[in-house]
Amino acid sequence: MNHSSLLPNYARQQIAFSHGKGSYLYSTNGDSYLDFASGIAVTAMGHNHPALVAALTEQAQKLWHVSNLFIIPEQEALANKLCQESFADLVFIANSGAEALECAIKMTRKYFASRNQPERHRIITFQGAFHGRTLATLAAGGNAKYLDGFAPDMPGFDHLPFGDLAAVEAAITANTAAILIEPIQGEGGVRVATREFLLALRKLADDCGLLLIFDEVQCGLGRSGSLFAYQQAGVAPDILCLAKALGGGFPISACLASQDAAGGMKAGSHGSTFGGNPLGCVIALKVLDLMTADGFLKSVQQRGEQFRLGLTKIITQHHNQSQFTEVRGQGLMIGLKCQAPVAEIQAALIAKKLLAVGASDNVLRLLPPLTVSAAEIDQALAIIAEVAAATAP
Ligand SMILES: *Cc1c(COP(=O)(O)O)cnc(C)c1O
């Protein structure tokens, strides 16, 4: 492409797609790709899912938007469903992951402000985290590369090594309000928090009167093999952020909370013009119906096991000369640690018509749709094996 009128803030692959079906994307120049990027863990039900297309087109002919000046029955139904499936009592619906996090951060500050403890406003977060690109969520993530040039950083965040319990214990002061963590870091390189660490954070939060916030924008909604990643650890947070897969490609997000954690939020405390419009809510409800149907999550677990087993085999075949050195993740949120720069591996896979996503720590993220078939996993494994052989160090 010679000239683009778009802000040059993305380094895009030079491919454009015209349509998709299930696990496949079709490019404008006629190639078909196996899509294990899923628009960064968004199109969890695959492309062009008939039930989602039907939900969207049916609602599109009725009503798109009225604003939160009015009751939105579809939004009520979505919130009910999210509460029914989780620890939560109350839900705020927004449009993007960062907005769900903004709600969590504001809710935390309001919680303590409403208890006459406004000095408790600092939030502990973890190195390698990604919480979004707004000024608050950038500060929460603390990634120097993303913050560069946008000073002054919003205050209120303490960044600690991921998994370091002693550091968390030492960092808690009279100003600490909450602990915010991704149970599985996505951007950070598919790093899974141990069950012990999450349990210990829950206990610390309870002992010190802190709120525990889980950012499941990427690892939530079936991706980990359970509807929410926290269910596998057996630890419930006080606040939970969801987004990417919630609308299966339609932009919608949610901030879930216990009655207690949401205690400071009153009429006027927060809002969004677009958040929770009938169109998005009907689609998200359908996504949740599909994900909670009998056997769906079981199949995600099985496909995940198949995929990880196959990847481990590729690594062991090449012994100490393997391009890939480690398989990470849970369910269908999988990371492959590479020796060569991950961008090179990604390009080699694209040349063989397999799409994947890069991450920090030189990790390749493999995020197939949760509807992926066993044969499609095998097809991806064959391509990855070819690239492993061709690029072995
Ligand atoms: C993608 C992501 C976000 C930000 O979501 P946006 O929709 O891009 O604002 C926040 N947290 C995590 C864990 C994410 O993966």
Q: Which candidate in 36, 87, 92, 130 is catalytic?
A: 130
Tokens for 45, please give them: 């039900």
CA 272 – CA 255 distance, rounded (Å): 13
**Which of 269, 217, 276 is closest to 94 using CA atoms?**
276
User: Given 276, 291, 306, which residue is the final one in a domain?
Assistant: 291
341 domain residue, yes or no:
yes
User: Given 241, 259, 291, which residue is the final one in a domain?
Assistant: 291
Whether residue 363 contacts residue 328, with contact meaning beta carbons closer than 8 Å, is answered with yes
Helix (H) and strand (E) counts in the chain:
13, 17
pLDDT at 346 over 80: yes
pLDDT at 100 over 70: yes
Q: Mean pLDDT, to the nearest integer, of 294-311? A: 98
Indicate if 84 and 189 belong to the same structural domain.
yes
Half-sphere exposure of 29 (CA within 13 A, CB side): 4
CA 368 – CA 47 distance, rounded (Å): 11
4 domain residue, yes or no:
no
220 domain residue, yes or no:
yes
- In three-state secondary structure terms, 80 is helix
Determine if ligand 1 sits within 6 Å of the CB of residue 157.
no
Report the nearest-CA residue for atom 6 of ligand 1. 97
The domain that holds 374 is classified in CATH as 3.90.1150.10
Torsional sign, CA 301, 302, 305, 306 = negative
Determine if ligand 1 sits within 6 Å of the CB of residue 186.
yes
What is the pLDDT confidence band of residue 290, given thresholds at 50, 70 and 90? very high
Ligand 1 pocket mutation, candidates 223, 244, 255, 360, criterion most atoms within 8 A of CB = 244
The domain that holds 92 is classified in CATH as 3.40.640.10
What is each CA distance from 22 to 14, 45, 243, 299, 380, in whole angstroms? 22, 8, 20, 16, 15
In 282-309, which positions are buried (b, 16+ CB within 10 angstroms) versus exposed (e)?
bbbbbbbebbeeeebbebbbebbeebbe
The pLDDT tens digits of the residues spanning 106-120 come to 999 999 999 999 999
More confident residue, 284 or 318: 284
39 domain residue, yes or no:
yes
> 130 CA to middle of ligand 1, Å?
7
Indicate if 91 and 166 belong to the same structural domain.
yes
Indicate if 341 and 250 belong to the same structural domain.
no
pLDDT at 288 over 70: yes
The pLDDT tens digits of the residues spanning 219-259 come to 999 999 999 999 999 999 999 999 999 999 999 999 999 99
What is the pLDDT confidence band of residue 2, given thresholds at 50, 70 and 90? low
Q: Mean pLDDT, to the nearest integer, of 343-352? A: 98
Whether residue 336 contacts residue 311, with contact meaning beta carbons closer than 8 Å, is answered with yes
Clarify whether 244 is annotated catalytic: yes
Ligand 1 pocket mutation, candidates 38, 213, 218, criterion most atoms within 8 A of CB = 218
Return phi, psi of residue 87, to 5°: -75, -15
Question: Which numbered atom of ligand 1 lies nearest the CA of 132?
Answer: 4
Q: Mean pLDDT, to the nearest integer, of 177-191? A: 98
Indicate if 385 and 299 belong to the same structural domain.
yes
pLDDT at 153 over 70: yes
Question: Which numbered atom of ligand 1 lies nearest the CA of 97?
Answer: 5
6 domain residue, yes or no:
no
* pLDDT > 70 fraction of the chain, expressed in percent and rounded: 99
Q: Which candidate in 244, 250, 286, 324 is catalytic?
A: 244
Ligand 1 pocket mutation, candidates 131, 180, 214, criterion most atoms within 8 A of CB = 131
Determine if ligand 1 sits within 6 Å of the CB of residue 218.
yes
Indicate if 228 and 175 belong to the same structural domain.
yes
The pLDDT tens digits of the residues spanning 354-370 come to 999 999 999 999 999 99
Indicate if 74 and 146 belong to the same structural domain.
yes
Return phi, psi of residue 105, to 5°: -70, -45
> 79 CA to middle of ligand 1, Å?
20
pLDDT at 3 over 90: no
5 domain residue, yes or no:
no
Indicate if 220 and 313 belong to the same structural domain.
no
What is each CA distance from 367 to 139, 142, 245, 301, 344, in whole angstroms? 27, 25, 11, 13, 18
In 18-50, which positions are buried (b, 16+ CB within 10 angstroms) versus exposed (e)?
eebebbbbeeeeeeebbbbbbbebbbbbbbebe
Clarify whether 250 is annotated catalytic: no
Indicate if 368 and 237 belong to the same structural domain.
no
What is the CB neighbour count within 10 angstroms for residue 200?
15
Whether residue 128 contacts residue 180, with contact meaning beta carbons closer than 8 Å, is answered with no
pLDDT at 144 over 70: yes
pLDDT at 320 over 80: no
Question: Which numbered atom of ligand 1 lies nearest the CA of 216?
Answer: 13
Determine if ligand 1 sits within 6 Å of the CB of residue 97.
yes
- What is the tally of structural domains in the chain? 2
Q: Note the pLDDT of residue 134.
A: 98
> 214 CA to middle of ligand 1, Å?
12
Full domain range(s) for residue 118: 63-291
CA 137 – CA 14 distance, rounded (Å): 29
Whether residue 44 contacts residue 221, with contact meaning beta carbons closer than 8 Å, is answered with yes
Q: Mean pLDDT, to the nearest integer, of 77-92? A: 98
* pLDDT > 90 fraction of the chain, expressed in percent and rounded: 97
The pLDDT tens digits of the residues spanning 155-175 come to 999 999 999 999 999 999 999
Indicate if 302 and 333 belong to the same structural domain.
yes
What is the CB neighbour count within 10 angstroms for residue 313?
12
CA 68 – CA 119 distance, rounded (Å): 32
pLDDT at 74 over 70: yes
Give the Cα-Cα-Cα angle 20, 24, 29 (nearest 5 degrees). Answer: 70
CA 223 – CA 182 distance, rounded (Å): 13
Q: Note the pLDDT of residue 90.
A: 98
Indicate if 37 and 166 belong to the same structural domain.
no
User: Given 238, 260, 291, which residue is the final one in a domain?
Assistant: 291
Indicate if 367 and 272 belong to the same structural domain.
no
312 domain residue, yes or no:
yes
- In three-state secondary structure terms, 342 is helix
Whether residue 333 contacts residue 361, with contact meaning beta carbons closer than 8 Å, is answered with no
pTM given for the model: 0.98
> 215 CA to middle of ligand 1, Å?
8
pLDDT at 1 over 80: no
Indicate if 146 and 189 belong to the same structural domain.
yes
Q: Note the pLDDT of residue 267.
A: 97
Q: Mean pLDDT, to the nearest integer, of 17-38? A: 98
Q: Mean pLDDT, to the nearest integer, of 265-271? A: 97
Beta strand ranges found along the chain (DSSP E): 17-21, 24-27, 32-35, 90-94, 122-126, 157-160, 176-181, 184-185, 191-192, 211-215, 239-242, 253-257, 324-330, 333-338, 354-355, 357-359, 363-366
344 domain residue, yes or no:
yes
